[in-house]
Amino acid sequence: MGNIRAAVTGLEAWVPEYKLTNHELAEMVDTSDEWIMQRVGIKERRILKGEGLGTSHLGAMAVQSLLEKNGIAPDTIELLVCATVTPDMFFPATANIISDKCGITNAFSFDIGAACSGFIYALQTAASYIEAGHIKRAIVVGADKMSSITDYTDRTTCPLFGDAGGAVLLEPSDDENGIVDFLFRTDGSGKKHLHMKAGGSVRPASHETVDAREHFVYQEGQSVFKFAVSNMADISIELMGRNSLSPEDIAWLVPHQANLRIIDAVGRRMGVPAEKVMVNIEKYGNTTAATIPLCLHDYRDRIKRGDNIILSAFGGGFTWGAVYLKWSLG
Ligand code: UT7
């Protein structure tokens, strides 16, 4: 890595108003508030309602407030990367649509598809352009309208997901704070445990695929659970080790929010005490690419400038990874 560090200099998130509660879900499928709270730790999730509103709306709402609250002129943004598995459409990229909605006209923009690891992959991608000195101002968005690919007749997946968007501003750091290091991995053989069966080029949409309900998240929960715990924890431990960080040196662990039991197990395996682990899954569920910026946003007032933070994620692919950053916002 070169001498320039990329720093998070702005942070915003946006969730829709509608709250889908466990009690409402229990009227739709054979489930209960007790089961969902015990097994997953989710109380409610936000759902984006409204004709013609997709993931770009979630992302654009976050980006719009990022620009306004930081007094940033849209035409000074040089890059916008959006992580999502629920793009508005196959093409153009949702990043392009968000840029257009927010008046960002001097940037190049593209999407990154790495499921629940999408935000950290996108963050490091944008950071690399800054570290290389190519650009000075980027926006990284994590946004997913998971309700658009959730089967509300399947009790094994429908309690899990929600809709949200988060966005960060990235600029060259003028001190030692910023993104320090990262470690990412993928294992495509994990596809069988977590995927969407149809709608892509292998199995394009047809009456048959719609009738078979193949345009929704398919997940073998128990297998994914085991891989999530070990891979998120072990890659974070490896990243901390090579940066000579012990759990005491870490101010915050920000894990992807898929299941409270996964979050707790990752913290324990890493030796990071619960009070240093960010958790907001109860309010929003798993919002895929949005969980990490949404979590940072919820905890924003408690994070101090210079804090050592580990972001850690695991998702479909399989994809997983961890990012080490020193917080730049005061
Ligand atoms: O973000 C991307 C990565 N995704 C993840 O990290 C998710 C990883 N997986 C998980 O979080 C968990 O595996 C789930 C939350 C998906 C499921 O929890 P689990 O403790 O692994 O449950 P299970 O699949 O082993 O199912 C246990 C029982 C089953 O009944 P039987 O076979 O024991 O009679 C299920 O049919 O719970 C039943 N069940 C439910 N019962 C009430 C499954 N879903 C529900 C439900 N309500 N919603």
pLDDT 10s digits, 196-225 = 999 999 999 999 999 999 999 999 999 999
Note if 286 is an active site residue: yes
* Known catalytic residue at 158: no
Which atom, in ligand 1's list, is nearest to the CA of 286? 1
Query: Helix, strand, or coil here: 86?
Result: coil
- In tens, the pLDDT along 23-75 reads 999 999 999 999 999 999 999 999 999 999 999 999 999 999 999 999 999 99
- Give the burial class of 181: count Cβ atoms within 10 A of its Cβ; 0-12 exposed, 13-18 middle, 19 or more buried: middle
- CATH number for the domain running over 180-326: 3.40.47.10
Going by the DSSP 8-state scheme, the letter that residue 133 receives in this structure is T
Domain boundaries of the chain, sorted by first residue: 6-175, 180-326
> CA 34, 37, 40, 46 torsion: positive or negative?
positive
pTM of structure: 0.97
Whether 57 is a known active-site residue: answer no
Number of the ligand 1 atom closest to the C-alpha atom of 224: 8
Spacing, Cα 158 to ligand 1 middle (Å): 11
Ligand 1 atom nearest 159 alpha carbon: 48
Instruction: Domain 6-175: give its CATH architecture.
Output: 3-Layer(aba) Sandwich (3.40)
CATH topology of 6-175 equal to that of 180-326? yes
Q: Measuring from each residue's beta carbon to the nearest atom of ligand 1, which residues come in under 6 Å?
A: 31, 35, 39-40, 116, 155-156, 159, 221-222, 224-225, 228, 258-259, 262, 286, 315
106-148 pLDDT tens trace: 999 999 999 999 999 999 999 999 999 999 999 999 999 999 9
